[in-house]
Structure 1
Amino acid sequence: MATTNIWQQFKSLIPEGGRTIVTITLNSGDGTSTATFRDGTVIRVQGESVPAGNNALIQDRVVKAELPALATYEAEV
C-alpha cells in the first residue's frame, strides 16, 4: 500500500547513505584503496576500480564510480 505521507514520499527519493567525492591515492591490491578528502582527511575504502590519482564517488566507504577531473571553485557568502 502506497503511503500518503508527503514526507515519507520525499525521503524515498533520496538515496540512503552519503555520497562524497574523493581522490584515490593508493590501490592496496587487497580490494581496498586509500582515499583523500578535499580537507586532507585520509580513509580506506572498498574497491580498486579507480586508478590512483583520479577522482572517485564513494558511498558508505565503497567506490561507486570514477569521476572526471573538473575545475573546482570556492565562493564565500
Structure 2
Amino acid sequence: MATTNIWQQFKALIPEGVRVVATIAANNGNGTSQAELRDGSVITVKGETVNVGEKAFILDGEIKGTASSMAQYEVEV
C-alpha cells in the first residue's frame, strides 16, 4: 500500500547519496581510479571505466559513467 504521509512522498523524490562530476586523473590498475574534483582535491574512487582526462559521474565513491565536457560557470547571487 502506498504511503499517505506527504513528507515521505516528498523525500522519495529526492535522490539519495553524494553525486559529483570529476575529472579522472589516473586509473590505478586495481579497480580504482584517482578523480580530481572542481576544487582541485583528489579522491580515490571505485571503477576504471572512464579514461584518464575525461569527466565522470561519481555516486557514493563509485564511477557510474562518463559525463559530458560542457563549460562550467559559477555565479554568486
Shorter-chain TM-score range = over 0.9
Q: Report how many residues are paired.
A: 77
Measured on the aligned residues, the alpha-carbon RMSD in Å equals 0.9
Structure 2 CA distance, aligned partners of 1:76 and 1:31?
38
Aligned to 2:63: 63
Which runs of structure 2 are paired with 1:1-77 in the superposition (5 Å)?
1-77=1-77
Report percent identity of matched pairs. 57
Deviation (angstroms), 1:21:
0.6
Q: Give the structure-1-normalised TM-score.
A: 0.93
Tell me the alpha carbon deviations over residues 42-61 of structure 1, each in whole angstroms, 9 at most, x when there is no partner: 11000000001010000000
Deviation (angstroms), 1:15:
2.2
Deviation (angstroms), 1:68:
1.1
Q: Any runs of at least 4 consecutive aligned residues in structure 1 with deviations exceeding 2 A, and if so which?
A: none
Q: Which residues of structure 1 form unaligned runs of 5+? A: none
